[in-house]
Chain A
C-alpha cells in the first residue's frame, strides 16, 4: 500500500512537472518534447527486448510508418488541419500495428541474434524504399502542412501531444505487465522451449507484444514529423543509426526488463546527449560512443538493475553477517 501511495505521488509529480515545463522553460520545449519521444521509444522497445527477450533493431520501422502515413493523410485527405492530424495519427498507429501483425509471425519465428539481424534489415530496407519512392517524396522528403498558429504554440501543442502519448504508453504497458500476458512474455524470454512444452500460445503472444509496441511507435510518428517540420527518410522516419540504436541503448542503460528502467535510461541518455551537444560540440559523437561502451561494460544490467542488485546484496548479506558473528 505504501508502495502504491509512493508510486502515485511520483506519477503526479512527474505529470505536474510535465504540464508546467513549457511555461517554465519555453526555450527547451522542443528538446523536452523529444524527451517524451525517447521515453516512448525505450518503453516500447523494452516490451520485446527486455520483457520478451527479442532484441529488435528494427522498431524504428514502425515509427517511420507512422511518420509517413500521418503526413500522407494530412497532404491528401483534404480534411481541416486538426482533423487531418488526428486521423493521420490514428491511421499511422493502425498501419504500424498491421505491419507488425503481418511481419510478426515470420520474423518472430527467428530466435536470438538472427532475430536482431532480421529486424535490422527491416529498417534498412524501409529507409531505402522510402528514399526511392516518389509518391512519398523519395530522398528529398516530405513537408507536413504548416501549423495554423504561432511557432511557440505549435511547439507547445506537439509537446503536449507527445507527452500524452508517452504517458498513455507507460500506463498501458504497466497494466500489460500486471496481467498473465506479462508473465507469458517473461516466460518466453526465460525459456521459450519450456513455454511451448507447457502449451503457451507463444507465437500469438509474441506477435501481440510487437503489435502493441508498433501501435504506439506509429502513433508517435505523426506528431514528430509535424514538430520537426520536415520528413527525411533516413534522418527522421527510418533513422536506424540514431533512433533505432538509441531505443536499445536507452533501455539497456536504464535496465531492460523492468518497468521504470527504460524511462530512467531515456532521461539519462537524452539529458547526457543534450549536454554533450552543448558543451562538447564537435566531440559529441565520440563522447556518446564512450558513454555507450562504459554502459555496456560496467553496467550491463543497467542503472536500475545495478541499483536493485546492490540493494539486494546489502539486504542479503545482513543475516549472513549476523550468523557469522553469532557463531
Chain B
C-alpha cells in the first residue's frame, strides 16, 4: 500500500492523551496532486491525526514525512512554511481585522524575514487577496471585520487564507460543516478547482458522505483511533466494516 514518493507519508503514528488512545498505528499516504479523504465516526481520531501532521502536539510513535522530509518533530510554524497548511473545524480567523487584512497576512511565510515584513503589502499581493476573496464569494464583505462574518463565511475566509499562502498540501478539517446546504455544491466545486487549477494536494476530513464520495479519489476510514479501511469511494461505501462503524454495530 505504501506508494513510494507520496507527498505525505504517515507511518505507524500513535498518539495518546492520558489513558485515551486517540490514534493507534495509523499509516496513510497522500499522493501528490490528488484529493484524499479521511472519514470516521465522531471521536475516531481524525482531528488528532491532523494535529499530529501539523505539529500541534508531539506524537508518541511513528513518523510523518512530507515531500521526503522528516517533519515528525518540527513545530507548527516550520511545517506551515514548508507548505503544509491546515484549516480548523472550529474557525480560526483574525477576528479584529477585515477580510483583506486577513488575506494580506496569509501569504506564504517561506523566506519571510523581519526585514521583508517591515514593508507595506504590495499592490500585487492585495490584488491577489481580492481575487481569492472573489473566488470564495466574499468580495462584497471584504472590508468587514472577520469576526462579524457568519460561521460559514468564516470557513470560506479561512479557505481563501489557506489558498493565499499557496500551500502544497492543504489539510481541510470538515470544510462543509456549518455551511448553508445550498452553498455546499459551490464549495465542493471550489475545492476541486483549487486542486485542479492551483495544483494543491488536498487531504479532507468530512462528515458529509455525499460530499466526500464526490470529492476524493481515495478514502481512508478511521474508527476508534485505528485505520479501519481504505479504498476508492465505491469500495468504501460498500465496505461492511465501514457501514458497521457508522451505524454503531461492532
B20 within 8 A of A: no
Of A28-36, A54-62, A173-181, A243-251, which stretch is located at the interface?
Answer: A173-181
Cross-interface CB contact of A196 among B76, B106, B110, cutoff 8 Å: B76
- CA separation between A114 and B95, bound complex, in Å? 23
Contact between chains at B119 and A191 (CB < 8 Å): no
Query: Residue on B with the closest CB to A207?
Result: B114
Q: How far is the CB of B198 from chain A (nearest CB, A)?
A: 17
Contacts of A181 in B (CB 8 A): 114, 117-118
Of B86-94, B215-223, B225-233, which stretch is located at the interface?
Answer: B86-94
Query: Residue on A with the closest CB to B147?
Result: A190
Taking each of A181, A186, A190, A199, which has the highest tally of chain B beta carbons within 10 Å of its own beta carbon? A199
Query: Residue on B with the closest CB to A257?
Result: B96
Query: Residue on B with the closest CB to A193?
Result: B92
B245 within 8 A of A: no
Contacts of A156 in B (CB 8 A): none
Contact between chains at B119 and A180 (CB < 8 Å): yes
A113 within 8 A of B: no
Q: How far is the CB of A31 from chain B (nearest CB, A)?
A: 35
Contacts of B121 in A (CB 8 A): 180, 183
Of B97-105, B131-139, B200-208, B235-243, which stretch is located at the interface?
Answer: B97-105
Contact between chains at B117 and A189 (CB < 8 Å): no
Contact between chains at A186 and B101 (CB < 8 Å): yes
Contact between chains at A194 and B101 (CB < 8 Å): no
- CA separation between A255 and B56, bound complex, in Å? 34
A200 within 8 A of B: yes
Q: Which of A155-198 contact B (CB under 8 A)?
A: 176, 178-181, 183-184, 186-187, 189-191, 193-198
Q: Contacts A179-B118, A180-B121; is A200 near B109 (CB within 8 Å)?
A: yes
Q: Which of A193-225 contact B (CB under 8 A)?
A: 193-202, 204-205, 208
Q: How far is the CB of A112 from chain B (nearest CB, A)?
A: 16
B112 within 8 A of A: yes
- CA separation between A187 and B94, bound complex, in Å? 6
Contacts of A193 in B (CB 8 A): 92
Count class of interface residues, chain A: 20 to 34
Query: Residue on A with the closest CB to B112?
Result: A201
Contact between chains at B165 and A198 (CB < 8 Å): yes
Query: Residue on A with the closest CB to B97?
Result: A186
Q: Which of B54-104 contact A (CB under 8 A)?
A: 54, 56, 75-81, 85-86, 88, 92-97, 101, 104
Using a Cβ–Cβ cut-off of 8 Å, how many residues does chain B contribute to the interface with A?
35
Query: Residue on B with the closest CB to A188?
Result: B94
- CA separation between A191 and B117, bound complex, in Å? 19
Contact between chains at B109 and A198 (CB < 8 Å): yes
B120 within 8 A of A: yes
Query: Residue on A with the closest CB to B79?
Result: A199
Q: How far is the CB of A325 from chain B (nearest CB, A)?
A: 24
- CA separation between A184 and B54, bound complex, in Å? 20
Contacts of A196 in B (CB 8 A): 75-77, 80
Q: Contacts A183-B101, A183-B105, A199-B80; is A194 near B93 (CB within 8 Å)?
A: yes
B27 within 8 A of A: no
B195 within 8 A of A: no
B35 within 8 A of A: no
- CA separation between A178 and B85, bound complex, in Å? 26
- CA separation between A204 and B94, bound complex, in Å? 19
Q: Which of A247-279 contact B (CB under 8 A)?
A: 257
Contact between chains at A202 and B117 (CB < 8 Å): no
Contact between chains at A197 and B109 (CB < 8 Å): no
Q: Contacts A199-B81, A204-B114; is A194 near B96 (CB within 8 Å)?
A: no
Q: Which of B166-187 contact A (CB under 8 A)?
A: none
B161 within 8 A of A: yes
Contacts of A257 in B (CB 8 A): 96
- CA separation between A176 and B97, bound complex, in Å? 16
Contact between chains at B114 and A190 (CB < 8 Å): no
Contacts of B114 in A (CB 8 A): 181, 201, 204-205, 208
Contacts of A176 in B (CB 8 A): 118
Contacts of B77 in A (CB 8 A): 196-197, 199-202
Cross-interface CB contact of B97 among A178, A190, A197, A202, cutoff 8 Å: A190
Contact between chains at A183 and B119 (CB < 8 Å): no
Chain A residues with CB under 8 Å of chain B are 176, 178-181, 183-184, 186-187, 189-191, 193-202, 204-205, 208, 257
11 contacts between A and B (CB under 8 A): A180-B121, A181-B114, A183-B101, A190-B95, A194-B93, A196-B76, A196-B77, A197-B77, A199-B77, A199-B81, A208-B114
Given pairs A180-B116, A193-B92, A198-B165, 4 additional interface contacts (CB within 8 A): A179-B118, A180-B119, A196-B75, A198-B105
